Structures are given as C-alpha cells and as structure tokens.
C-alpha cells in the first residue's frame, strides 16, 4: 500500500522533508503551546483576569450582541485563551498524529462535523441550565439542596 | 452463468458497487466511529462538570490551590506535575506515530521499539494518575464542614493554610468509635474524624492569628477570608464535621461535587489509558511474533494508534477544563 503524507502544516507555511520530521515538528509546536498554557496558568497575568467588555444593556439588540460576543463578554480572557489553545492542540493531534490530514474529505467531515455539532449543542444546553440554577441560588431563597 | 446474477450494466460506474469512497479500510473506519461516540461520552462528562461548576460559580475550588504537589518534593508547585503528565502523554503519542510510520516502511525492529516506548509512556502516565489520586484522597490541611455542606478552611494572617491537626487541642476520650465487640453487634460505624469541631474551635481560640477562609470567591478571584470574630462565631455556629482529604462524600477542598467529578472524569480517562496500554501490549507481542510481517501490513498498529491518540486528545481537554480554566 502506498502511503502518501501531506507534509505541510500551518496552511503550507512550514513544509517538512519527511513524515518523521513532521512528527517532531508538531511535537515541538504542541510542547510550546502546553508550556504557554502552564506559564499563563501559574502567573495569571492580571490583564487577562477581568473581562474586556461589559454586557450590553437594553433591549433585543443588546441581548443579541451579548450572545454574539459572549466569549469576551462573559468569559475571562485567560480562560478564552486556554480554550483556544486547547482547540489548536486538538487540531494538530487529530490532523497530524491521527493522520486526518491524509484522509478523504468525506471521512474528515463525517467525524469532525458530527462531533463538533453535537458537542456544541451539549455544552450550550448544560452551561445555560447551570447558569440559570446559579441565578436561582443567588437571587432566590434556595440556599442549597444538592 | 448469467442467469443467477442480474447484469445491470452499471459495473465500474459510481453506483455500481465495489467502491470505497472513503478510501479507508473497514477496521479503521469503525475505529473512527468508535472515537466519535467515545468523544461524545467524554464531552458529556465535561459538560456535566461545566454545568455543576456554573451552578456553583461563586464557590468552586481553585484548581491551583488543590493540585500543588510534586512527588519527592515538598512545597507549593501548582500545575507542574500535571504539565509533566501531559508532556508524557503527548510524547507517547509521538512514539506511537513513529511506530505507525515505521510500520508503513515494514520495519519490524523500529515498530517494536516504538511500541515499547509508547507502553512505557502510558505506564508512567497511569502511575502518575494513581499518585495524584492518592495525594488528593489523603488531603493535606483538613477542613471543617458546615451544616449546609460548605467547607471552612483555616489560614494564618499571611494567608497561608494552617492544618487542622496543628492547632486542634485534643480533648481525650470524648467519643470512641463504636465497634461490634463493645456495642451493638449488628451495626458498624465508619472511622471517626481525627478531631471534633469543638477541639478545632478550642484550637482556634488559642491561636489568635488564625482565621477562617470560606469557599466564596471574591472580586479579586480569591477565597474570602473572615475576620477573627466572624471566624470564631462561624465555626461555633455552623461547623459540624472535621474532614480530611476527599472522597465521594466529603471534600476538604470545597464542594464535594468537585471531588466526585475529579474521580469520575480522570478515573474514566485513566481507565482508557489503562485499556490502551493493555491493547498496546497485545499488539506489541503480535509485532514481535511477526503476525503483521506475515500479514504484509501493519495496519493494526495504525488502528490502536488512533485509539491511543484519542486518549491523548481527551487528556488535552481534561487538562484544560480541570486544571487550567
């Protein structure tokens, strides 16, 4: 069986001579990302600890704006950075270690889109409800039940 | 005989059958399907963790203050050991890809060695996980649980944690553990806490520079520390149980849900790593025995490789959502 590997990463910016070189290159990249995460996690720079935007006030468009900008309105920038770096790591593990880059487009989409869609749905439902219950605890009279 | 099979005239055409449009073997495709479903299981767990965390967003434990230990070293090293574990797992992923690559070149010696290194990496990771569980279960400072199930920890005036056992004044013989031989023969009682709340209270009275820290996270993202008077009255009024370490019932680090999710998610992941190691060992022996050499293809290594990378992938997310965010 012939095994063709696509040897370019970062949309063709970095090209490797062989598959083995590409593996080591991706390892270095993933290690750097993990190191950045750990350093940010230990030092927690104060500029990333408070949200950069306050929620919009007002009617329908304010709500819409809050939904669209929710990652920066409701999330600390530090956490947003962690999540983005995690997704970057996940991409390179899947694409280069699991050879997703070399699979057909159809297989790739079948796996990735199905997963991404269902996971987004799950996260939305559960976090929305968690936030609601937190509001009940905070504004209501329920102290604690479970 | 043309009479048994209808000749439709579509042979060799797109819908004529016999195509494999995904250009992947059956085994590999099924591994991918398994991975998708397993990824949904894990995201269910992590989303449930997020649900509970959003529910108690103002009082959730801060991971940096929980996981601060490194084997063989004393002191406060948040995240260092988990980062090491992450690196070990990524590294074993790399040796796995190298094994797959060597398999493509039908190089049996290299596949053997890389599989071996992958197994070692997996074992180091599972061992680290076990150590981390042990440290978490054992606990360090101890805390007092209130009637409402909240946790009160003790700190000195510089904000450093104070262990319950360092300040509690032991009042001997107040309450002995009930055993079958000296009480009701048909009832058991679990181990009693090392100290009673009264002993901790007396210790707090005797140490004027120690105060109580609650679970509530303040504006600066730190846990709220009470004043001396508030500390004394809060402990007296609300404290019911001294807890040490964490299990499925109590958790000295904060809400018991945190411990439950920790055990459940890292446990489920650790079990995946463990089964990955077992599968890797089986494949390793098959490689040594020359099974794939005779088969003419090392695709089996590639399939377990997919599973192994998936375990690494899940860990990347667990690392972020449990330890970083």
Could you report the per-residue pLDDT of B108-151, keeping only the tens digit for each? 999 999 999 999 999 999 999 999 999 999 998 999 999 888 89
Mean pLDDT of chain A: 87
Nearest to B94 among A19, A27, A98 (CB): A27
Residue A128, C-beta contacts closer than 8 angstroms, at least 6 positions apart: none
ipTM comes to 0.90
Among chain A residues, CA nearest to B68: A42
Q: Band of the pLDDT at A2, cuts 50, 70, 90?
A: very low
Dihedral angle of Cα A84, A85, A87, A88, to the nearest 10 degrees: 120
- CB contact (8 A) between residue A106 and residue B35: no
Return the structure tokens found at B178.
């009930």
β-partners of residue B70 are B73
CA atoms of A110 and A112, how far apart (whole Å)? 6
Average pLDDT for residues B238-258, to the nearest whole number? Answer: 91
**Is the minimum CB–CB distance between B75 and chain A shorter than 8 Å?**
no
Alpha carbon of A17 to those of A14, A20, B155: distances in Å? 10, 8, 57
Q: Pull the structure tokens for residue A58.
A: 């007002």
**Which residues in chain A have Cβ-Cβ distances shorter than 8 Å to B56?**
134, 137
**Which residues of chain B form CATH 1.20.120.80?**
28-139+258-324
Q: Taking residues B76-90, what's their average pLDDT?
A: 90
Contact A90 B104 (CB under 8 A): no
Percent of chain B with pLDDT over 70: 95
DSSP letters along B99-151, please? HHHHHHTT-HHHHHHHHHHHHHHHHHHHHHHHHHHHHHHH-SS-EEEETTS-E
Q: What is the Cα–Cα distance from B210 to A94, expressed in whole angstroms?
A: 51
- Top mean pLDDT of A6-20, B176-190, B208-222 is at B208-222
Q: B299-318 and B108-138 helices cross at what angle (nearest 10)?
A: 30
Nearest to A37 among B97, B100, B324 (CB): B324
pLDDT of amino acid B153? 93
Q: Closest Cα partner for B142 from B161, B167, B163?
A: B163
Residue A12 above 70 pLDDT? yes
**pLDDT, tens only, A88-131:** 999 999 999 999 999 999 999 999 999 999 999 999 999 999 98
B309 chain-A contacts, CB cut-off 8 A: 93-94, 97-98
Residues of B in contact with A106 (CB under 8 A): 21-22
pLDDT, one tens digit per residue, over B163-185 is 988 888 877 656 667 777 777 88
Size of interface A-B (CB pairs under 8 A): 141
**Residue B131 and residue B151 in contact, taking contact as beta carbons nearer than 8 Å:** no
Question: Cα dist. B72→A38, B54, B81, B126 in Å?
Answer: 21, 35, 11, 18
Q: What b-and-e string marks burial along B33-51, b requiring 16 or more CB atoms within 10 Å of the CB?
A: eebbebbeebbebbbbbbb
Alpha-carbon distances of A21 from A34, A52, A109, B98, B134, rounded to whole Å? 20, 40, 27, 10, 39
Asked if B263 and B134 touch (Cβ cutoff 8 Å), the reply is no
Burial grade of A93 (CB within 10 A; 0-12, 13-18, 19 or more): buried
Please list the residues that pair with A9 across neighbouring strands: A14
Give which of B301, B266, B309 is closest to B115, Cα–Cα: B301
The answer to whether B87 contacts chain A (CB < 8 Å) is yes
User: Mind telling me how many Å the CA of A68 is from chain B's nearest CA?
Assistant: 20
Kindly state the tokens that stand for B96: 């796995």
Substitution target from B81, B113, B214, B320 for chain A, most A beta carbons within 10 A: B320
CA A73 to each of CA A63, B73, B95, B305: distance values in angstroms, whole numbers, following the listed order: 11, 40, 41, 40
In chain A the first and final C-alpha atoms are separated, in Å, by: 57
- Give every CB contact of residue B283 below 8 A, 6+ residues apart in sequence: B115, B300, B301, B304
The residue of chain B nearest to residue A133, with distances taken between CA atoms, is: B55
Q: Which of B104-118, B206-220, B303-317 has the lowest mean pLDDT?
A: B206-220
pLDDT at B196 over 80: yes
Contact: A130, B149; criterion CB under 8 Å: no
Q: Which pLDDT belongs to residue B165?
A: 87
Interface residue B218 vs chain A (CB under 8 A): no
Query: What's the pLDDT score for residue A45?
Result: 87
Q: For the domain B28-139+258-324, what is the CATH code? A: 1.20.120.80
Token code pair at residue B254? 């904060």
Q: Which of A30, A123, A144 is opposite residue B90, by nearest beta carbon?
A: A30
Query: In whole numbers, what is the pLDDT of chain B averaged over residues?
Result: 89
Q: B254 with B260: CB under 8 angstroms?
A: no
Provide, rounded to the nearest whole percent, the portion of chain B with pLDDT above 90. 59
């Amino acid at each position: 069986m012939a095994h063709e590997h696509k040897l370019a990463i970062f949309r063709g910016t970095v090209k490797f001579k062989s598959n083995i070189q590409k593996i080591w290159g991706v390892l270095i990249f993933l290690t750097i990302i993990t190191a950045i995460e750990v350093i940010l996690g230990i030092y927690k720079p104060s500029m990333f600890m408070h949200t950069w935007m306050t929620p919009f006030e007002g009617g329908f468009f304010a709500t819409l704006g809050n939904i669209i900008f929710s990652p920066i309105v409701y999330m600390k920038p530090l956490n947003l950075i962690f999540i983005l770096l995690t997704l970057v790591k996940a991409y390179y593990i899947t694409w280069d270690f699991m050879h997703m880059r070399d699979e057909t487009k159809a297989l790739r989409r079948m796996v990735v889109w199905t997963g991404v869609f269902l996971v987004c749905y799950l996260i939305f439902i559960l976090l929305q409800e968690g936030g609601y219950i937190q509001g009940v605890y905070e504004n209501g009279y329920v102290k604690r039940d479970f | 005989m043309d009479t048994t099979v209808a000749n439709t005239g579509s042979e060799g055409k797109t819908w004529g059958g016999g195509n494999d449009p995904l250009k992947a073997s059956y085994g590999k495709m099924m591994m991918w399907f398994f991975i998708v479903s397993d990824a949904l299981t894990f995201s269910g767990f992590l989303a449930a963790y997020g649900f509970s965390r959003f529910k108690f967003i103002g009082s959730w434990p801060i991971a940096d203050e929980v996981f601060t230990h490194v084997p063989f070293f004393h002191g406060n090293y948040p995240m260092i050991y988990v980062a090491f574990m992450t690196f070990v797992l990524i590294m074993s992923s790399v040796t796995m890809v190298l094994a797959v690559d060597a398999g493509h070149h039908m190089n049996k010696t290299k596949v053997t060695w890389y599989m071996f290194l992958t197994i070692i990496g997996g074992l180091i990771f599972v061992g680290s996980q076990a150590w981390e569980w042990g440290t978490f279960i054992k606990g360090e400072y101890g805390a007092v649980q209130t009637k409402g199930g909240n946790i009160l920890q003790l700190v000195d005036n510089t904000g450093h944690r104070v262990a319950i056992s360092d300040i509690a004044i032991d009042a001997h013989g107040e309450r002995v553990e009930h055993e079958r031989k000296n009480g009701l023969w048909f009832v058991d009682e679990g181990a009693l806490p090392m100290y009673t709340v009264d002993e901790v209270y007396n210790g707090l009275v005797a140490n004027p520079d120690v105060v109580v820290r609650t679970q509530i996270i303040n504006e600066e993202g730190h846990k709220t520390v009470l004043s001396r008077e508030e500390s004394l009255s809060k402990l007296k009024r609300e404290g019911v149980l001294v807890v040490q370490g964490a299990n499925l019932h109590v958790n000295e680090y904060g809400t018991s849900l945190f411990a439950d999710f920790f055990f459940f998610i890292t446990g489920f992941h650790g079990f995946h790593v463990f089964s990955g190691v077992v599968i890797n060992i089986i494949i390793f022996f098959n490689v040594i025995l020359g099974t794939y050499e005779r088969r003419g293809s090392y695709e089996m290594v590639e399939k377990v490789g997919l599973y192994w990378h998936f375990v690494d992938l899940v860990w990347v997310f667990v690392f972020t959502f449990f330890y970083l965010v």
